């Protein structure tokens, strides 16, 4: 805006309707220097908005744009820049009163359109999307920008939808007088209107500077609302009587009847979409860019229906109301217009079509104005246009309105965020799946649809790769915007925040901003209020939460994301769906994926074409056929080639064995995206003193060569071990496979047949499997594929086709399709792949297809049981060796993969491993703080690293002050006390101040758990935590951790005399201060119990289904 156009201290230009800065569309081209200067301004604003001002990306982008301008005189915006620009244009649109919704604008990028037919399709899509069955959504469609001024794209209609106007020979008009001229243009182009009052005009479009063409808008796309009046009342006689009281308007009003309103045959359309405006963005001019918001009732009531140069209905309404139109003092115009407006609002609301009354609109604008003043220090506004317009229509001189964007699209982008592996949960369009850790939260503002698939780990915590995402969301919530960085908020606080915000009954879950509700018709106050306009107001989202109901905080992280997205203003496309690992998680995901796909297509008005049908089908079944997957014999295992190169460079210093190691390291590193190393097994000791029913071992892994750099770790970290499947299981599987390579030991590459749609037709090509490395078939089944976790139902669908036996097919079918039958069967047999093959002896799966269907063998984590200060070259582990019998103890013995692998391998065996940092489980930085360590069973593991470190530090710095270290340990019997002699010497040396031992199954000793001892030692525990700033460490099984937490809470509450809310806050503050540390192993203690519970539930459901079916059958 130039200075001459600005209000000054002395002169207010607010009353000038034709604001000097608003230009009409010209056809001259912008001088290059002007483009450059406007572009500079735009990019500065854009990069400031995404907090990247002056960053490398800003500088690089600006250089690129300048280059383009120099070479061509213009440049192109990226999609994100265009979206930002369009939103900003609305935000800055001085005459728009509904701008509070500016960030919720859907931008359709139609810049690739070249023809009028293409334009027509894009406009139809816009109308369909925006109308949304009455629940109007703001949208803009942007066609190609102006080039030389001779190839403009234009929409000739002032609005996408409008009524024709026909001048009659007697000078009267049928239809909308404002459209007379345009109707004549349409007629000249060949359009034939029906000549009624309510003929919808065709679209008149021109592309690339060509002559215009007209297109009839399909009638099913246009939503019209018959205008009726809410008041039906008393008889005419009674009306005439009370007319005498016309000076008493309230009374008169109350007794009028408006039955005649329907006779007037008034209607109006739902979608106000202006289409003759110029969108001026970063120096570029977009000459065709239809935009819509929703109606403010008065625009229809006062202007479209009331204005004398429009439908001019006030007189007729007043006469029918029985008002004296000859006498202005009866205020007949005022009274008639109120009724018209009332009828409009009533009719739209009744039809479930979004509309806003002018009072709410004004209020909302003032809210927006205040927000903008607060956030940007200003809000451009043409105040004449901001006034509620009801009275304006009464004036003859009311001017026709011309809108203009002043400031500086794509098809809906879908973003799928996944927390953790999502292994086997593919199927949604893969290209747009982002891992949470790779996602830059700064983009969230510009997303349209976000689908989150995430699991929960720890004790209701985010999965490892979701931590920073969780933290960023927390930062947005705390700052209510993306403006502040997350650095100044602690990770611990975000964790306790997650705990608080993962409750189902959270307010957010109840929020009305739910698509299911909003589809029922918008509430005026809702759409114009700013309490649902949080920073994520622009996104639509849905969350699928993976978890296990065996954990107290079931699916907590998924719930948290769902709640927070809602609270931050996002619109929920579908209610949160939880997939329970113990009850049909796979089926739940499958039906969610296909339902969300369908809902998203409906919601974004995407027509269900061939591609969509392909995707939808892919979501329902993802099995490959033997024709589309093969083994290709190769010279050497995939990474052997790379390995060889590396080794050549090292002048072939290493021998063949080393080559194999390098290959294995490379393959595993790539497969699991970790930096894998090989340590050799140096020592293995059974930690139980006598032969007990179970085995717990200390495992010492040592780096291979003194020249190698050791893995760096800290006490408390985790070691990931990549184990091998048991030889006998691998052999049994290999025996049963068909379509195998010549031998089980030759190197092969798994390849998939990929179909590509090209202009030349469908082309097929073989591509290597994206994850599995080249290896022998035996190698794949030994190291890379999981053959012990109970197979998923989709495998049974595939296996059904691998047997001719109808009885086997039926059983497989019921396992695949009935989740209760599947769960019951799973809990009874806890079947491995071998179990399945044994139970279905005629099934002969194809080796290639099976490899693509099995999940990958996952690394197992162990708390490191040593300190790097004490053992720099070694990693010590404390491993409970897992064996169990299925069928409630009656079935065959099953062996945990990793713990038995570690127990069985010979000294000197090389073990692939890596370190994972457990940042929240490290020693306190202030060594003088007391430490309470609670770890029954193998939960003691990380504490061994702690005490080793303390011992060495104590020796190194004799004068230093160290806080008390207290250990609460629990085991079944005295023989199972882990590291007993080590503990005794630590006590003697006063490194451990106290050791409390809870024995749960020692004959003649009352069953005791660590919690019992904590309660007994409550005074000391409370003192250390509350007075001495002590740290609490809890390690082991999840139920124990929850029980311990509750126990400590009650100790603190009692000793600190706190009420419920206070103690809750106190416990959360312990986490926030990083003084409450948890390291959770999984559901180890209660595994059998949990399995039995799930089995029984499934059984009950099967039985009740059975009796229900029988009852129905016998009817
Ligand atoms: C962060 C972290 C740290 C850990 N630290 C340690 C540690 O220091 N020491 C340690 O020993 N473990 C630790 N664990 C557990 C460890 O990772 C493995 O889960 C454990 O060793 C079992 O692995 P596995 O491969 O031997 O058994 P798997 O092959 O994984 O088999 C275990 C599975 O078998 C099933 N199962 C087990 N018992 C039964 C039963 N009675 N009936 C039916 N099914 C059953 C369950 O599904 C169970 O998940 C830790 C886990 C985590 C996540
Ligand atoms: N099947 C096997 O051969 C085998 C062998 C070793 C380990 N494992 C697996 O590995 C898991 C971990 O073994 P582990 O040695 O670390 O532990 P553990 O020996 O199973 O348990 C350690 C101690 O914790 C107790 N405990 C159980 N629930 C508790 C709770 N809610 N709160 C506090 N204490 C509780 C146990 O008491 P209880 O007497 O009540 O159990 C026991 O005294 C086992 O539970 C098992 O799943 C299996
Ligand atoms: C150490 C550990 C802790 C877990 N904690 C929880 C939890 O607190 N709540 C929950 O619902 N599920 C919990 N789970 C279960 C996982 O969320 C569940 O296994 C999920 O299916 C994992 O999916 P993913 O491997 O695809 O990420 C936990 C699992 C493990 C191994």
More confident of the two residues 353 and 377: 353
Answer yes or no: is the C-beta of 1087 below 6 A from any ligand 2 atom.
Answer: yes
Residue 275: pLDDT above 70? yes
Rounded distance from Cα 879 to ligand 1 centre (Å) = 9
CATH number for the segment(s) 295-355: 3.90.1230.10
Among 877, 886, 894, 1085, the mutation site with the greatest number of ligand 2 atoms within 8 A of its Cβ is 1085
Highest-scoring range by mean pLDDT, 69-73, 428-432, 1069-1073: 69-73
pLDDT the model gives residue 404: 29
Least confident of 204-218, 534-548, 746-760: 746-760
CATH architecture for the domain at 659-671+724-857? Up-down Bundle (1.20)
pLDDT beyond 90 at 697? yes
Pairing relation of β-strands 775-776 and 747-758? Answer: antiparallel
DSSP one-letter code for 710: P
pLDDT at 391 > cutoff 50: no
Q: What is the pLDDT of residue 654?
A: 54
Backbone angles phi, psi at 80, to 5 degrees: -65, -40
Residue 760 pLDDT level (bands cut at 50, 70, 90): low
User: Residues 573-632: pLDDT tens digits?
Assistant: 899 999 988 777 877 888 888 888 888 887 776 665 556 666 666 555 455 778 888 888
Q: Is 420 touching ligand 3 by the criterion CB < 6 Å?
A: yes
The answer to whether residues 354 and 320 touch, using CB atoms and an 8 Å cutoff, is no
Which of 285-289, 643-647, 1088-1092, 1101-1105 is predicted least confidently?
643-647
Where is pLDDT greater, at 533 or 560? Answer: 560
Enumerate the β-bridge partners of residue 542.
451
Which residue's CA is minimally distant from atom 15 of ligand 2? 937
User: For residue 500, what pLDDT is reported?
Assistant: 67
* Residue 556 near ligand 3, beta carbon < 6 Å: yes
**Tally of CA atoms within 13 A in the half-sphere of 12 that contains its CB:** 6
Angle 8-13-19 (CA atoms, 0-180°, nearest 5)? 125
Q: Mind telling me the catalytic residues?
A: 96, 99, 294, 299
The class level of CATH for 922-1084 reads alpha beta
Pocket lining: 883 vs ligand 2, CB cutoff 6 Å: yes
Task: Using pLDDT thresholds of 50, 70 and 90, give the confidence band for residue 758.
Answer: low
pLDDT exceeds 80 at position 689: yes
Q: Measure 586 CA to ligand 3 centroid, in angstroms.
A: 14
The CA radius of gyration of the chain, in Å to the nearest whole number, is 36
pLDDT for 908-950, tens place per residue? Answer: 999 999 999 998 899 999 999 999 999 999 999 999 999 999 9
Instruction: Determine whether 961 is exposed, middle or buried from the number of CB atoms within 10 Å of its CB (0-12, 13-18, 19+).
Output: exposed
State how far the Cα of 335 lies from the Cα of 306, in Å rounded to an integer.
12
The rounded Å distance from CA 1087 to ligand 2 centre is 10
Q: Which ligand is located closest to the Cα atom of residue 937?
A: 2
pLDDT for residue 1088: 78
Of 18-22, 477-481, 856-860, 954-958, where does the model show the most confidence?
856-860
Q: How do residues 57-115 score in pLDDT, each as one tens digit?
A: 899 999 999 999 999 999 999 988 898 888 888 877 766 766 677 777 888 999 999 99
Give the residue with greater pLDDT, 535 vs 138: 138
**Of the ranges 151-165, 449-463, 518-532, which one carries the lowest mean pLDDT score?**
518-532
Residue ID of nearest Cα to ligand 2 atom 12: 1084
CA of 721 to the centre of ligand 2 (A): 21
Using 50, 70 and 90 to split pLDDT, how confident is the model at 384?
A: low
Instruction: Select from 272, 267, 226 the least CA-distant residue to 98.
Output: 272
First to last CA, the chain: 80
- In this structure, which ligand is nearest to the CA of 693? 2
Mean pLDDT of the chain: 82
DSSP state of 837: H
Instruction: Answer with the residue of higher pLDDT: 328 or 807.
Output: 807
Nearest CA, atom 20, ligand 3: 547
The string of pLDDT tens digits covering residues 707-738 is: 778 889 999 999 999 999 999 999 999 999 99
Distance 583 CA to ligand 3 centre (A): 13
CA of 584 to the centre of ligand 3 (A): 15
Yes or no: say if 827 and 1092 are a contact pair by the CB < 8 Å rule: yes
What single DSSP character describes residue 711?
Answer: P
> Do residues 1067 and 1045 lie in contact, with contact meaning Cβ atoms separated by under 8 Å?
yes
295-355 matches 403-420+427-477+535-622 in fold: no
Residue 776 in contact with ligand 1 by CB distance below 6 A: no
CATH number of this structure's domain 403-420+427-477+535-622, picked from the four choices 1.20.120.430, 3.40.190.10, 3.40.50.150, 3.40.50.360: 3.40.50.360
941 CB under 6 A from ligand 1?
yes
Higher pLDDT, 170 or 1104: 170
Cβ(93)–Cβ(277) below 8 Å: no
Q: How confident is the model at residue 642 (pLDDT cuts 50, 70, 90)?
A: low
Atom of ligand 1 nearest to the CA of 723: 25
pLDDT for 1108 beyond 80? no
Single pTM value for the model: 0.70
Residue numbers belonging to the annotated binding site for heme b: 96
Q: Is 1043 in the pocket of ligand 2 (CB under 6 A)?
A: yes
User: Which runs of E-coded beta strand occur in 582-733?
Assistant: 629-633, 677-686, 695-703, 718-721
Distance 1064 CA to ligand 2 centre (A): 29
Given this structure, which CATH class describes domain 676-719+859-918?
mainly beta
DSSP string for 1040-1077: HHHHHHHHHHHHHHHHHT--HHHHHHHHHHHHHTT-EE
Q: Which DSSP helix (H) or strand (E) runs through 139?
A: strand 139-142
Question: Which residue minimizes the CA distance to atom 9 of ligand 2?
Answer: 882
Percent of the chain with pLDDT over 90: 50
Of residues 1030 and 368, more confidence is placed in 1030
Helix or strand run (H / E) with residue 727: helix 727-736
pLDDT band at 49 (very low <50, low <70, confident <90, very high): confident
Confidence of residue 117 (pLDDT cuts 50, 70, 90): very high
Residue 414, pLDDT above cutoff 70: no
Average pLDDT of the residues in 1046-1075: 93
Mean pLDDT of 285-295: 92
Residues 814, 1016: Cα–Cα separation, whole Å: 53
Measured between alpha carbons, how far is 1045 from 1040 in angstroms, rounded to an integer? Answer: 8
Report pLDDT digits (tens) over 366-377.
777 777 777 666
Residue 235 pLDDT > 80, yes or no?
no
Report pLDDT for 437: 78
pLDDT at 394 over 50: no
User: Could you identify the atom of ligand 2 that is nearest to the CA of residue 1081?
Assistant: 12
What residue spans define the domains of the chain? 295-355, 403-420+427-477+535-622, 659-671+724-857, 676-719+859-918, 922-1084, 1088-1114
All residues at 6 or more sequence positions from 132 whose CB lies less than 8 Å from its CB, including other chains: 519, 603, 605
CA pair distance 41, 1, nearest whole angstrom? 13
Is residue 422 in contact with ligand 3, taking CB distance under 6 Å?
Answer: yes
Strands 203-206 and 893-895: unpaired
* Ligand 1 close to Cβ of residue 826 (< 6 A): no
Q: Looking at the CA of 551, which ligand is closest?
A: 3
Each residue's pLDDT tens digit, 874-890: 999 999 999 999 888 88
């Amino acid at each position: 805006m130039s200075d001459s156009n600005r209000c000054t201290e002395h002169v207010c230009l607010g009353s000038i309707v034709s604001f000097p800065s608003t230009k009409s569309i010209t056809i001259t081209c912008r001088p290059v220097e002007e483009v450059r200067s406007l572009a500079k301004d735009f990019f500065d604003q854009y990069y400031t908005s995404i907090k990247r001002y002056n960053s490398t990306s800003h500088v690089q982008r600006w250089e690129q744009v300048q280059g383009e301008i120099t070479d061509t005189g213009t440049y192109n915006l990226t999609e994100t820049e265009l979206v930002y620009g369009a939103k900003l244009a609305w935000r800055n649109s001085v005459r728009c009163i509904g701008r509070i919704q500016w960030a919720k604008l859907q931008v359709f990028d139609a810049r690739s359109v070249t023809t009028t037919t293409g334009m027509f399709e894009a406009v139809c899509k816009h109308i369909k999307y925006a109308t949304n069955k009455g629940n109007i959504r703001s949208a803009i469609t942007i066609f190609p920008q102006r080039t030389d001024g001779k190839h403009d794209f234009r929409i000739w209609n002032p609005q996408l939808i409008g009524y024709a106007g026909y001048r009659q020979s007697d000078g009267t008009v049928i239809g909308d007088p404002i459209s007379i001229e345009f109707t004549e243009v349409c007629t000249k182009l060949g359009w034939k209107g029906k000549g009624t009052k309510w003929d919808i005009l065709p679209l008149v479009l021109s592309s690339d500077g060509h002559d215009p063409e007209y297109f009839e808008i399909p009638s099913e796309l246009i939503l019209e609302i018959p205008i009726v009046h809410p008041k039906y009342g008393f008889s005419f006689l009674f009306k005439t009587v009370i007319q005498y009281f016309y000076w008493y308007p309230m009374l008169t009003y109350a007794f009028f009847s408006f039955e005649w309103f329907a006779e007037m045959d008034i209607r109006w359309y739902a979608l106000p979409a202006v289409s003759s405006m110029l969108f001026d963005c970063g120096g570029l001019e977009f000459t065709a860019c239809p935009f819509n918001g929703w109606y403010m009732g008065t625009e229809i009531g006062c202007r479209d229906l009331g204005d004398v140069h429009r439908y001019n209905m006030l007189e007729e309404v007043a006469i029918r109301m029985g008002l004296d139109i000859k006498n202005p003092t009866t205020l007949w115009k005022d009274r008639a217009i109120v009724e018209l407006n009332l009828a409009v609002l009533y009719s739209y609301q009744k039809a479930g079509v979004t509309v806003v009354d002018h009072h709410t609109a004004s209020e909302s604008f003032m809210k927006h104005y205040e927000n903008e003043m607060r956030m940007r220090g200003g809000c451009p506004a043409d105040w004449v246009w901001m006034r509620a317009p009801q009275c304006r229509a009464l004036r003859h001189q009311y001017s026709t309105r011309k809108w203009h964007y002043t400031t500086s699209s794509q098809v809906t982008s879908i973003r799928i965020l996944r927390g953790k592996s999502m292994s086997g949960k593919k199927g949604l369009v893969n290209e747009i799946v982002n891992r949470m850790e790779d996602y830059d939260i700064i983009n969230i503002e510009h997303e349209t649809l976000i689908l989150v698939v995430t699991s929960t780990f720890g004790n209701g915590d985010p999965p490892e790769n979701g931590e920073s995402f969780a933290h960023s969301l927390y930062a947005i919530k705390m700052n209510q915007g993306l403006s502040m960085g997350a650095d100044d908020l602690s990770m611990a606080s975000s964790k306790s925040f997650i705990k608080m915000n993962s409750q189902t009954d959270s307010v957010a879950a109840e929020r009305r901003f739910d698509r299911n509700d909003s589809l029922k018709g918008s509430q005026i106050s809702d759409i114009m209020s700013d309490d649902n306009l949080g920073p994520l107001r622009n996104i639509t989202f849905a969350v699928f939460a993976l978890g296990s109901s065996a954990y107290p905080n079931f699916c907590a992280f998924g719930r948290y994301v769902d709640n927070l997205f809602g609270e931050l203003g996002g619109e929920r496309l579908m209610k949160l769906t939880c997939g329970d690992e113990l009850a049909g998680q796979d089926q739940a995901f499958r039906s969610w994926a296909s339902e969300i796909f369908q809902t998203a297509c409906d919601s974004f008005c995407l027509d269900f074409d061939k591609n969509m049908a392909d995707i939808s089908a892919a979501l329902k079944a993802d099995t490959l056929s033997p024709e589309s997957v093969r083994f290709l014999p190769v010279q050497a295992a995939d990474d052997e080639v790379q390995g060889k190169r590396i080794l050549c460079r090292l002048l072939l210093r290493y021998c063949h064995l080393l080559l194999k190691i390098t290959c294995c390291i490379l393959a595993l590193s790539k497969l699991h995206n970790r930096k894998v190393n090989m340590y050799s097994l140096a020592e293995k000791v059974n930690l139980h003193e006598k032969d007990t029913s179970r085995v717990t071992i200390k495992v010492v892994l040592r780096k291979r060569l003194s020249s190698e750099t050791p893995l760096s770790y800290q006490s408390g970290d985790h070691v990931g071990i990549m184990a091998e499947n048991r030889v006998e299981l691998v052999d049994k599987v290999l025996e049963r496979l068909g379509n195998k390579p010549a031998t089980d030991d030759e190197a092969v590459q798994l390849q998939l047949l990929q179909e590509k749609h090209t202009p030349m037709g469908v082309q097929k090509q073989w591509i290597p499997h994206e994850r599995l490395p080249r290896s022998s078939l035996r190698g794949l089944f030994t190291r890379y594929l999981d053959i012990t976790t109970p197979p998923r139902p989709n495998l049974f669908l595939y296996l059904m086709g691998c047997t001719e036996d109808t009885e086997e097919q039926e059983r497989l079918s019921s396992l695949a399709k009935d989740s209760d039958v599947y769960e019951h069967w799973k809990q009874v047999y806890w079947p491995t792949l071998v179990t399945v093959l044994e139970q279905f002896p005629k099934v002969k799966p194809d080796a290639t297809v099976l490899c693509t269907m099995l999940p990958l063998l996952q690394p197992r984590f162990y708390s490191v049981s040593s300190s790097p200060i004490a053992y720099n070259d070694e990693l010590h582990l404390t491993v409970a060796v897992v064996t169990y019998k299925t069928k409630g103890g009656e079935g065959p013995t099953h062996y945990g993969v990793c713990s038995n692998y570690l127990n069985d391998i010979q000294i000197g065996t090389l073990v692939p491993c890596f370190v994972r940092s457990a940042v929240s489980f490290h020693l306190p930085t202030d060594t003088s703080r007391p430490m309470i360590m609670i770890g029954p069973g193998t939960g003691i593991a990380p504490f061994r690293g702690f005490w080793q470190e303390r011992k060495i530090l104590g020796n190194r710095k004799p004068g230093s002050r160290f806080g008390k270290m207290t250990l609460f340990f629990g085991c079944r019997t005295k023989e199972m006390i882990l590291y007993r002699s080590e503990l005794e010497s630590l006590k003697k040396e006063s490194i451990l101040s106290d050791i409390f031992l809870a024995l749960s199954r020692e004959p003649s000793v009352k069953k005791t758990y660590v919690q019992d001892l904590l309660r007994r030692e409550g005074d000391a525990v409370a003192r250390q935590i509350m007075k001495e700033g002590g740290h609490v460490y809890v390690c082991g099984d999840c139920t124990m951790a929850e029980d311990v937490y509750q126990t400590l809470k009650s100790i603190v509450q009692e000793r600190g005399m706190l009420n419920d809310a206070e103690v809750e806050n106190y416990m959360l503050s312990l986490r926030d201060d990083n003084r409450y540390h948890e390291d959770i192993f999984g559901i180890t203690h209660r595994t059998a119990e949990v399995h039995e519970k799930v089995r029984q539930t499934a059984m009950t459901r099967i039985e009740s289904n059975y009796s229900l079916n029988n009852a129905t059958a016998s009817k």
